[in-house]
Amino acid sequence: MEFAFDSTTQDLIERMNAFMDEVVYPAEPTAHEQIERNYREDRWEPPAIIEDLKAEAKRRGLWNFFLPGEKGAGLTNLQYAPLAEITGRSIQLAPPAVNCAAPDTGNMEVLHMFGTDEQKQQWLEPLLAGEIRSAFAMTEPDVASSDATNIETSIVRDGDEYVINGRKWWITGAMNPNCKVFIVMGKTDPTAERHRQQSMILVPRDTPGLEVVRGMHVLGFHDRDHGGHAELRFTDVRVPASNLIGGEGEGFAIAQARLGPGRIHHCMRSIGLAERAVEMMVKRASERVAFGKPISDQGVVRDWIAESRVKIEQLRLLTLKTAWLMDTVGNKGAHTEIQAIKIATPQTVEWILDKAIQVHGAGGLSQDFPLAEMFAGIRTLRFADGPDEVHKNSLARAEIRKQLAR
Amino acid sequence: MEFAFDSTTQDLIERMNAFMDEVVYPAEPTAHEQIERNYREDRWEPPAIIEDLKAEAKRRGLWNFFLPGEKGAGLTNLQYAPLAEITGRSIQLAPPAVNCAAPDTGNMEVLHMFGTDEQKQQWLEPLLAGEIRSAFAMTEPDVASSDATNIETSIVRDGDEYVINGRKWWITGAMNPNCKVFIVMGKTDPTAERHRQQSMILVPRDTPGLEVVRGMHVLGFHDRDHGGHAELRFTDVRVPASNLIGGEGEGFAIAQARLGPGRIHHCMRSIGLAERAVEMMVKRASERVAFGKPISDQGVVRDWIAESRVKIEQLRLLTLKTAWLMDTVGNKGAHTEIQAIKIATPQTVEWILDKAIQVHGAGGLSQDFPLAEMFAGIRTLRFADGPDEVHKNSLARAEIRKQLAR
Amino acid sequence: MEFAFDSTTQDLIERMNAFMDEVVYPAEPTAHEQIERNYREDRWEPPAIIEDLKAEAKRRGLWNFFLPGEKGAGLTNLQYAPLAEITGRSIQLAPPAVNCAAPDTGNMEVLHMFGTDEQKQQWLEPLLAGEIRSAFAMTEPDVASSDATNIETSIVRDGDEYVINGRKWWITGAMNPNCKVFIVMGKTDPTAERHRQQSMILVPRDTPGLEVVRGMHVLGFHDRDHGGHAELRFTDVRVPASNLIGGEGEGFAIAQARLGPGRIHHCMRSIGLAERAVEMMVKRASERVAFGKPISDQGVVRDWIAESRVKIEQLRLLTLKTAWLMDTVGNKGAHTEIQAIKIATPQTVEWILDKAIQVHGAGGLSQDFPLAEMFAGIRTLRFADGPDEVHKNSLARAEIRKQLAR
Amino acid sequence: MEFAFDSTTQDLIERMNAFMDEVVYPAEPTAHEQIERNYREDRWEPPAIIEDLKAEAKRRGLWNFFLPGEKGAGLTNLQYAPLAEITGRSIQLAPPAVNCAAPDTGNMEVLHMFGTDEQKQQWLEPLLAGEIRSAFAMTEPDVASSDATNIETSIVRDGDEYVINGRKWWITGAMNPNCKVFIVMGKTDPTAERHRQQSMILVPRDTPGLEVVRGMHVLGFHDRDHGGHAELRFTDVRVPASNLIGGEGEGFAIAQARLGPGRIHHCMRSIGLAERAVEMMVKRASERVAFGKPISDQGVVRDWIAESRVKIEQLRLLTLKTAWLMDTVGNKGAHTEIQAIKIATPQTVEWILDKAIQVHGAGGLSQDFPLAEMFAGIRTLRFADGPDEVHKNSLARAEIRKQLAR
């Protein structure tokens, strides 16, 4: 057992920190203005400055960390973890700057693992190059989508094509016009065995019958900077049969394969976000005076700061161990730990954000600090890929099984 | 001791419930559309339908409940409490419909109690008639405003006028063009005894030098439906000396007098809002099926529903008792209880809203349900009129003093 | 609605407070010594001084408050509530001093409502006179007794007698040799409809076949001062058929009738106990100096004191309202509220005790302060008459039903 | 970074688990009986069977793990951590069985690091051999001892002797007649600089003037099995000057050196204890049926089991990392992490025990399961070596300093 990072990781951490200090943090004010302007002008685009950041990141060789193997940066999950955490410190800018932003990372992994050469050529290459963005269309408005077998979108074979009908919502990134392709989950055979009914298929943005209805809001935020969360309607949408990813009935298995890394990446970034929040909380508490002394001298605020530190340290270690398990025994072997961090992260980070906001007074809820938007983002994680309650129930079942098997 | 409402109250409760069922709830979808449209068109107005509701409320004699005496409805705080609660069930529409919306209620009370005849004629009358709206400008961006002695806005006598300079923010309602007058808190004598430095003065909206800078957001909400929360800048703003409310140095005392009723009204409405949230939580949990059974059959959801009921019942009773104390021993005598409900209400209602949102899945955070906006509103109450921590500290000091005096 | 107590109650409150100040609190040190001595000498008796307190209470006319009608003090539940609260301030001494201690109160009510004249003569009279004590034997070790239909003790008719077989535990008071009679719940007809299988029967202490096996401990405490919590074994225990309370199959209904008042009395006393804990917490925090200032100046301790006050005020009002409902619409009409206080009381008071203990340092857990024993007693309330979880589930079901019926 | 244990540790884990399965768990019923008997007979000794366990442990080479270097087992803190955890699973038997029980471990470390050869010969050797036990006398009843500068016991030089006067309490193990020596903390120079006033001195049990007054209770437990927690009175107690450990004024520094390992050992064992509690919770929940299904099917119980697992995993990793830091950068370098686990462990494990008890019904609080005694033990950790609040305050101060230094 050894808690120091290896030298490759240590080196990348230093380079990432330099990139943050020299490039990303200084870009935040400009980005903020651009985001505000896009918002006022009703546009759903990332701030233009992101392209500069991407160019600089590429130049520095800080790119595609998330993808193992030669196509990516060749890192293990454990090596990627602290880098993802660092990107979480500037959650709107840093992940896309190094081409490690959701949902593209998950989509690239799906294409990397399950795509045909043609699919890779057409979609994976420009995604890896950071030229286009993508979305993952799974959740539906009419059913409890945490239970994947509830999904109602149909994907029906018709000659050389598949015909797609259905509704989706909370499709992150899909409002962004540069989001060029959707990976859509639907049922090819509703009569098959429960986990063999689903398939995944690629649908280009401009396909007739695909309607981007509206952007969903999150606690008042539109999340326009990363393409929002769209409601989509598929009406007799036709794509070539070759757009299917893997075979018919493999949708559930592919989704499962996608979820593990997706979840841990969210957790890693959220920890960086929490660190940023603690930093802001300490700074504000030290600067602000009430009733004759800095707020940081108040016992209750001290209590919050201490608890934040104690919580983060524990959460980070579990996330790192989970990454190590994924590397050593595979995503399946790390199933319980992936669930555990999926449960622990949002509740921990939401708690910290709540206190950071409270230290900022009403300003903490406003557009003058990023805390409110961070709160909204983390709050959604208590639903994303299934609500906490579903994961807790499943984790408990596994624990009971394991204990009784002894 | 007796827990039934008197017959006057019981009658008004029934008439208010009828008004809600027949007029307010049916107006919600239209109001929602109008709010959305105003928002898209960058306007800071209440939805037009509110004027219809006001006319109908007046016709039914459901008007100005909040104001004791003949100018108002002649109700005690205890009689008003359950009516305020009912208005909280449709928080955007019902309070203004019956002319019992913050911050006008507090402002009308201030004018009623401390205004000159001329001030009453000019401002109180149209406010009581529901023709104009008003704002209360106290909080400042540069200081911890929970400590009123920190306030920096200056009000300087110059001949027959006062000259006002300073910055304010979180001035609720001030973005609404129909908000015609601001009650501004500032210092007339920074060298006086701590609680005699402040004064209050009336500043009409169109006074030169008064700039409405921008609307503050709450989480991502603008709260345009009730005039938002403005940042204001006062640069050599001149008003007649007769605009002063009360005498110089009476600002702090007037603010204190205003706070008691203001706080309890917030609490009453918040309880109604919590009841609406429980209603929505139960409805959704009963309709939504996951893993083969309605969500309402899940033990954890049951736990939330039970805890919600247990919490609300306790909170309501303390709020009612506080109202009764205000009626019987005055606002000062009810000081501890007012603080207690100010502390208890946001934490209780926020907890309930969080669970109601969780039961709704991601939709609960979106524009498709009112829960997210309700959450944002309640979250601000943990700061409004001073953060919880200040009130807890003060309440504890009083408790210690009381115990040691035995 | 009116939050002041009536003059009868107000007068009794004053007399009870005088009794506490003049008689009960001064007796605490002696009682404490006697309890310690009984404990060392392995005796399960109340401290001898209780008899003095009882005599004095009787002399002052402070007796049998709990029982409505002429046999008791003629008080309503609402009138009794604040008196029960006061007794909770000295939980080991005051309730028995005024003959208002569990489980006798519940047993007396059962006999009062359902007993035959003969049963009343033999058992109710000496209980009302405070000459003997009694126990209520319902919970069983082998089944989840929160589900009364699980009960396995058998009560079989044999000629003029009933024969009882079974095991019970947690039978409070039963280790006290002066506990002369047990009300035993068992099944007379396991084949009857679910809630008609049970009956209740009187079993005198000295009946052959009834074995008092041992005292159960509660977090290390024996609770010898009030007769502990016994495990009992019934082996062919024979009692006259006339010992049956009510008819066969009425046991469940009688238990339900008994539970309502029993629960609210526990809650009332627990509130008094919580008040005593706050008093001790404030006193200790004010006297103890750490790092240069009294602990009561620390923000976190202030927070605890404030939250304690806020919680108690709410809890008391709900308990009072529940008492009022029992008086006005009956125990059935107050069912939800009785459940609500049964849920809220232990969690609230346990929280307060935990903080009071923490303020006392390790001493707070020791025999030098009553807090540890108070904690143990309150902790059991999360199980008594069914665990919180069962009550929450039931209350939620009722809430759901009510909401959907609208 | 690497989360697998090294082969030495892995081997010892297996041997310890075998020892637990083959020797310790089977001894629990007998030990329980012996403890009960000692208790009834008012004796303060460990159960006799412990000597058998010690002999067997020695035979298996499972001994003195806690002590680095050749005198001990030569393990690092990180290697010892999982072994200490395993001993926590049978908290009354396993730690003394392998001679790794508090407070002897800390005392042996003190003697090992700071003792003279003579002191080592006389006291360290028999302690290492498991022949005698020892106690550490620091906490005092009259002052807030979390602030070591408050200590009032005096150690005054008088010729070749030191004379000790003062009172101590909560001196763990001191009631055990086989506890042959006390390390006493007192002030040799109350006028010196704050952290140079204290010294430590060895006081043999039979020294005249040393009175073992009584055992302190914890909740209702005496903890007789490990020698209880004594109140001591020192009246002109004289010991040779050579009994001083280190020099005059070094007491505070030695105490600090002792605290780091002492705290982490407590945490490690507590994690094992928590695992045992989860095991019991799952077992009971699976066996017990209420309302037609096993309790383990109830959502709320599932939630508890899941949260328990998620909390333990995080806590263990932070404890292991802390051990690793102590090994690599020293106790000082690990200061923040030691505080963090000191804060996190009791709150986490207490939460788990509370739920495990709740699943067991009232039995969970009784002598029929070890959970109540485990709860009492863990509850004291929120005070031991200073209350949580002191540690949180200190940790927050360090965090603020660190952040502001950036």
Interface of B with D in 272-301 (CB under 8 A): 298-301
Any bridge partners for residue D293, and if so which? D290
Q: Rounded distance, CA D47 to CA D26, Å?
A: 14
Subunits adjacent to chain A (3 or more Cβ pairs under 8 Å): B, C, D
Q: How confident is the model at residue C70 (pLDDT cuts 50, 70, 90)?
A: confident
Please report, as a single letter, which amino acid is at residue B44: W
Please check whether residue B271 is in contact with residue B315, taking contact to mean a CB–CB distance below 8 angstroms.
yes
- In which residue are the tokens 């239970």 written? A147
Nearest CA in chain D to A317: D317
Please report, as a single letter, which amino acid is at residue B316: R
DSSP for B344-383, please give it.
Answer: HHHHHHHHHHHHHHHHTGGGGGSTTSTHHHHHHHHHHHTT
Which residues in chain C have Cβ-Cβ distances shorter than 8 Å to D373? 220
Cis peptide before B103 (omega within 30 of 0): yes
- State the distance between the two ends of chain D, measured CA to CA, in whole angstroms: 26
Please check whether residue D50 is in contact with residue D97, taking contact to mean a CB–CB distance below 8 angstroms.
yes
Which residues in chain C have Cβ-Cβ distances shorter than 8 Å to A299? 298-303
Any bridge partners for residue D129, and if so which? none
Which residues in chain A have Cβ-Cβ distances shorter than 8 Å to C301? 299
CB A336: neighbour CB atoms within 10 A? 18
Please report, as a single letter, which amino acid is at residue B206: D
Of B335, B356, B345, whose CA–CA distance to B314 is shortest? B345
Please check whether residue D107 is in contact with residue D164, taking contact to mean a CB–CB distance below 8 angstroms.
no
pLDDT above 70: percentage of residues in chain A: 100
Q: With 0-12 CB in 10 A as exposed, 13-18 as middle and 19+ as buried, what is C165? A: middle
Of A253, A320, A352, whose CA–CA distance to A83 is shortest? A320
Please check whether residue A371 is in contact with residue A357, taking contact to mean a CB–CB distance below 8 angstroms.
yes
Q: Rounded distance, CA D55 to CA D63, Å?
A: 10
Interface of A with B in 17-36 (CB under 8 A): none
Compute the nearest-CA separation of A381 from chain B (Å).
9
Contact B396 C321 (CB under 8 A): no
Architecture of domain B7-102+121-128: Orthogonal Bundle (1.10)
Of D349, D281, D280, D353, whose CA–CA distance to D315 is shortest? D349
Q: Running DSSP on this structure, what letter comes out for residue A296?
A: G
Of A273, A398, A379, A406, whose CA–CA distance to A339 is shortest? A398
CATH class of the domain comprising D133-247: mainly beta
Q: Among A219, A295, A361, select the one facing B375 at the smallest CB separation.
A: A219
Per the prediction, chain A carries an average pLDDT of 95
pLDDT at D70: 84
pLDDT at B386: 84
Of C215, C194, C205, whose CA–CA distance to C151 is shortest? C194
Which residues in chain D have Cβ-Cβ distances shorter than 8 Å to C169? 362
Residue B28 region, left (φ>0) first, then alpha (ψ -120 to 50), else beta?
alpha
Q: What is the mean pLDDT of residues B107-117?
A: 96
Which residues in chain C have Cβ-Cβ distances shorter than 8 Å to D217? 220, 365-367, 372
Compute the nearest-CA separation of C304 from chain A (Å).
10
Architecture of domain C7-101: Orthogonal Bundle (1.10)
pLDDT at B317 over 80: yes
Q: Rounded distance, CA C115 to CA C246, Å?
A: 7
Q: How is chain B split into domains, by residue range?
A: 7-102+121-128, 133-248, 252-405
Q: How many CB pairs under 8 A join A and C?
A: 14
pLDDT at B257: 85
Contact B295 A363 (CB under 8 A): no
Compute the nearest-CA separation of C254 from chain D (Å).
21
Please check whether residue B380 is in contact with residue B218, taking contact to mean a CB–CB distance below 8 angstroms.
yes
Q: Rounded distance, CA B396 to CA C117, Å?
A: 54
pLDDT at C146 over 80: no
pLDDT at C183: 98
∠ CA(B171), CA(B173), CA(B179), 5° rounding?
Answer: 115
pLDDT at D145 over 80: no
Q: How confident is the model at residue D289 (pLDDT cuts 50, 70, 90)?
A: confident
Contact A300 C299 (CB under 8 A): yes
Q: Would you call C302 helix, strand, or coil by DSSP? A: helix
Please give the C-alpha separations between residue B67 and each of B7, B79, B85, B132, in angstroms, as whole numbers.
Answer: 19, 11, 16, 17
Please report, as a single letter, which amino acid is at residue D115: G
pLDDT at C35: 95
Residue B348 region, left (φ>0) first, then alpha (ψ -120 to 50), else beta?
alpha
CATH class of the domain comprising A133-248: mainly beta
User: Is some CB atom of chain C closer than 8 A to the CB atom of B78?
Assistant: yes
User: Is some CB atom of chain A closer than 8 A to the CB atom of D1?
Assistant: yes
pLDDT above 70: percentage of residues in chain B: 100
Residues B20-73 have pLDDT tens digits of: 999 999 999 999 999 999 998 999 999 999 999 999 999 999 999 999 888 889
Q: With 0-12 CB in 10 A as exposed, 13-18 as middle and 19+ as buried, what is A103? A: buried
- Sign of the dihedral defined by the CA atoms of residues C372, C377, C380, C382, in that order: negative
Of A314, A302, A274, whose CA–CA distance to D267 is shortest? A314
Q: What is the mean pLDDT of residues D196-220?
A: 97
Residues A143-200 have pLDDT tens digits of: 877 677 789 999 999 999 999 999 999 999 999 999 999 999 999 999 999 999 999 9
User: Is some CB atom of chain A closer than 8 A to the CB atom of B351?
Assistant: no
pLDDT at B150: 85
pLDDT at D150: 85
User: Is some CB atom of chain D closer than 8 A to the CB atom of C366?
Assistant: yes
Compute the nearest-CA separation of A12 from chain B (Å).
35
pLDDT at D311 over 80: yes
Of D315, D283, D361, D254, whose CA–CA distance to D85 is shortest? D315
Residues C359-372 have pLDDT tens digits of: 999 999 999 999 99
pTM higher than the cut 0.90: yes
Please check whether residue A273 is in contact with residue A99, taking contact to mean a CB–CB distance below 8 angstroms.
no
Q: Rounded distance, CA A124 to CA A105, Å?
A: 10
Compute the nearest-CA separation of B151 from chain A (Å).
12
Compute the nearest-CA separation of B1 from chain C (Å).
5
Contact B314 C318 (CB under 8 A): yes
Buried b (16+ CB within 10 A) or exposed e, A70-86: eebbebbbbbbbbbbbb
Point out the least confidently predicted range of A39-53, A361-375, C133-147, D390-404.
C133-147
Compute the nearest-CA separation of B284 from chain D (Å).
18
Point out the least confidently predicted range of A86-95, A323-332, B379-388.
B379-388
Q: How confident is the model at residue C277 (pLDDT cuts 50, 70, 90)?
A: very high
Compute the nearest-CA separation of C374 from chain D (Å).
9
Cis peptide before D82 (omega within 30 of 0): no
pLDDT at C213: 97
Q: What is the mean pLDDT of residues D242-253?
A: 96
Residues A133-154 have pLDDT tens digits of: 999 999 998 887 767 778 999 9
Q: Rounded distance, CA D130 to CA D124, Å?
A: 10
User: Is some CB atom of chain A closer than 8 A to the CB atom of B213?
Assistant: no
pLDDT at C271: 98
Q: How confident is the model at residue B147 (pLDDT cuts 50, 70, 90)?
A: confident
Contact D221 C220 (CB under 8 A): yes
Q: How confident is the model at residue D55 (pLDDT cuts 50, 70, 90)?
A: very high
Structure tokens at C122: 């033999």
Contact C362 D295 (CB under 8 A): no
pLDDT at C145 over 80: no
Interface of A with C in 104-133 (CB under 8 A): none
Q: Rounded distance, CA D220 to CA C225, Å?
A: 14
Point out the least confidently predicted range of B96-105, D142-151, D173-182, D325-334.
D142-151
Structure tokens at A135: 């979305």
Q: Which fold would CATH assign to domain D7-128?
A: Butyryl-Coa Dehydrogenase, subunit A; domain 1 (1.10.540)
Compute the nearest-CA separation of C62 from chain A (Å).
45
Q: Rounded distance, CA D123 to CA D240, Å?
A: 15
Contact A290 B390 (CB under 8 A): yes
User: Is some CB atom of chain B closer than 8 A to the CB atom of A367?
Assistant: yes
Contact D399 A278 (CB under 8 A): yes
User: Is some CB atom of chain C closer than 8 A to the CB atom of D170?
Assistant: yes
User: Is some CB atom of chain B closer than 8 A to the CB atom of C320?
Assistant: yes
Q: Running DSSP on this structure, what letter comes out for residue B6?
A: P
Structure tokens at C261: 């008042």
Q: Would you call B122 helix, strand, or coil by DSSP? A: helix
Q: Among B218, B291, B368, select the one facing A366 at the smallest CB separation.
A: B218
Q: What is the mean pLDDT of residues A345-364?
A: 96
Q: What is the mean pLDDT of residues B239-263?
A: 92
Please report, as a single letter, which amino acid is at residue C304: W
- E strand or H helix at C32, and its extent? helix C25-40
pLDDT at C133: 98
Question: In sequence order, what are the residues at sequence separation of 6 or more whose Cβ sits closer than 8 angstroms to the Cβ of residue A226?
Answer: A46, A92, A96, A101, A172, A173, A176
Which residues in chain C have Cβ-Cβ distances shorter than 8 Å to A303? 299-300
- State the distance between the two ends of chain C, measured CA to CA, in whole angstroms: 26
Compute the nearest-CA separation of D302 from chain B (Å).
9
Interface-testing mutation among B295, B297, B300, with chain D (most D C-beta atoms within 10 A):
B300
Q: How confident is the model at residue C334 (pLDDT cuts 50, 70, 90)?
A: very high
- E strand or H helix at C36, and its extent? helix C25-40
pLDDT at B406: 81
For D252-405, which CATH superfamily applies?
A: Butyryl-CoA Dehydrogenase, subunit A, domain 3 (1.20.140.10)
Q: Rounded distance, CA A75 to CA A56, Å?
A: 20
∠ CA(A104), CA(A107), CA(A110), 5° rounding?
Answer: 155
pLDDT at A258: 86
Q: Among C147, C150, C362, select the one facing D380 at the smallest CB separation.
A: C362
Nearest CA in chain D to A406: D279
Contact A300 C303 (CB under 8 A): yes
∠ CA(B367), CA(B371), CA(B376), 5° rounding?
Answer: 95
